[in-house]
Structure 1
Amino acid sequence: MTSSSKEPQGGGAGASGGRSPIKWDEYNYPPFVRIMHFDLSELEGSSRKVVRWAHAGFFLLVAALMCNLLINFVLVCAGVPLKGLHIVYSLFNVIIFGGLGLYGEYASFKGVAASKPSLMRRYILLEGAIVVMSLLFSVMAVANWNGWMRLPQAAALEGPIAPFWFWATVVEAVCWTVNYIVGAVAVYHVVEFERNGPLAFSARATRGAKDAVKKAAGAASVKGAGGIRLARV
């Protein structure tokens, strides 16, 4: 996930000339690990908006994974059957899906900031898969997952741990639900940016594009009318 400081600026702040260029060789993210560069303040306009949505999707993914890990840890301590194995699953999920989400974070930031369509497409495919995964996890009651279908089992459990499992299931299911919604919005923003570049989500740019189309259509009709007149002559 490392890159040279000579990367093109694309939609980054450096492209405007009013701010310093993006410091690609300053590895500051994620905290404590620091294996990539990520700084929203170096972006502006639609670039910042797009990456902010992608960043929110990654944050919610990590929150949902950590919530699942914490819930299973508490259930293990309470002696719920099979939860010892499930906490191992949760740990692997944090590593695997968290790593995939981090790569998506890298692809979205660098793809947008450096105007690299290939990285943006990778993010779209990866985050699209995470959105589908989050949708399934928000519903499933399989193994370590506590989706909406887990509520009847948690409600039927007897003992002091029952209220915790019920409300913890609600929290985890909400986390996954919000995650796939935000992730879908993030994918939409990156798709639009990949198609339209820094002009994406700009009302002024949209009006300008429509005016250009109208002018082109008008010019074509004038030329066509002129050709008809010449043919008649």
Structure 2
Amino acid sequence: MAAAFAAKQAISTAASSAMRGVQDEFSSASRAFGISSQPSSASTTIDWQNYNYPPFLRIVHYDLSELPSHVASIVWLINFSFILTVVICVVNFFNTIIIAAGGGSGVWVVYSILNLVLFPTAAGYTFYKGYKGLAATSPSAVRTFMWCQGILCVLYLLFSILPAGAFNGWARFSWFKHYNMSKGMKNYWVFVIIVESILYTANFIIAGVNLLKVHNFNPYHSAQAMSGGFV
């Protein structure tokens, strides 16, 4: 009897050890392949504390590789609108300096500087709210994005038309000729009006597409887009 009991204990101990070994191996393999025994979520896979964007400033975290493809495509276009806003404002700043030096109003340079500070900041905030809202499935962030993007969408349309201040919208053609400038400078201004108006018109269209895409976005299209809760 003693021998049988000892054998039974030995078998039980061996079985327990084997089970622990299998569990350890499974855990190691799971970690190696990025699999967790806990429910996965975007908030646990996205390192929001890794501030890496915009380049050099590094104010927020941004990494498309952490997102499912259908989410990443929308976020990419939202970010593109932000980048285009920065490009337009930078281009306008240099163009305004040249035009002011060629006979335009010097106060336009001040307006252009204000635009360079305000609008990229607003577009950057809008982009991040859209990114955070989609990546972390945050309805509050999405609502903020929709309001901000809607306002910017209207502004981009106005900026593509208005001739006021530093804006070189299509309507600038109606009165820029009254400035005392050389023919070469006026030709340059025509070029500036066309380029900046087209860029703002393009951004108006992109912002509108962003609104439509986010409005129609289904967060349950992919479980990988979930954050484990609404914010």
On the 8 A contact 1:138/1:146 being kept in 2, the answer is: yes
Q: Distance in 2 between matches of 1:9 and 1:49?
A: 19
Describe the superposition over 1:182-211 as per-residue Cα deviations: whole angstroms up to 9, x where unpaired.
Answer: 010011111112xx21429xxxxxxxxxxx
Higher relative CO (Cα under 8 Å, sequence separation at least 6) belongs to 2
Q: How many residues align?
A: 181
Of residues 122, 145, 151 in structure 1, which corresponds to 2:173? 151
| Runs of 4 or more consecutive aligned structure 1 residues displaced over 4 Å after TM superposition | 155-158
On the 8 A contact 1:146/1:172 being kept in 2, the answer is: yes
Structure 1 residue 41 and structure 2 residue 41: aligned? no
Q: Which amino acid in the other structure matches residue 151 of structure 2?
A: A
Q: Which amino acid in the other structure matches residue 199 of structure 1?
A: H
Which one has a bigger Cα radius of gyration? Answer: 2
TM-score by length of structure 1 reads: 0.73
RMSD: 1.9
On the 8 A contact 1:9/1:113 being kept in 2, the answer is: no
Structure 1 residue 94 and structure 2 residue 97: aligned? no
**Bigger shift: residues 131-140 or 61-70:** 61-70
TM-score by length of structure 2 reads: 0.73
The aligned counterpart of 2:157 is 135
Q: Distance in 1 between matches of 2:220 and 2:153?
A: 25
Identity %: 31
Q: How does 1:67-216 map to 2 (within 5 A)?
A: 67-80=91-104, 82=105, 84-154=106-176, 158-159=181-182, 160-193=184-217, 196-199=218-221
Gaps of 5+ in 2: 1-39, 223-231
SS, match of residue 139 in structure 1: coil
**Bigger shift: residues 87-96 or 176-185:** 87-96
SS, match of residue 197 in structure 1: coil
Gaps of 5+ in 1: 1-7, 15-20, 201-233
Q: Which amino acid in the other structure matches residue 166 of structure 1?
A: V
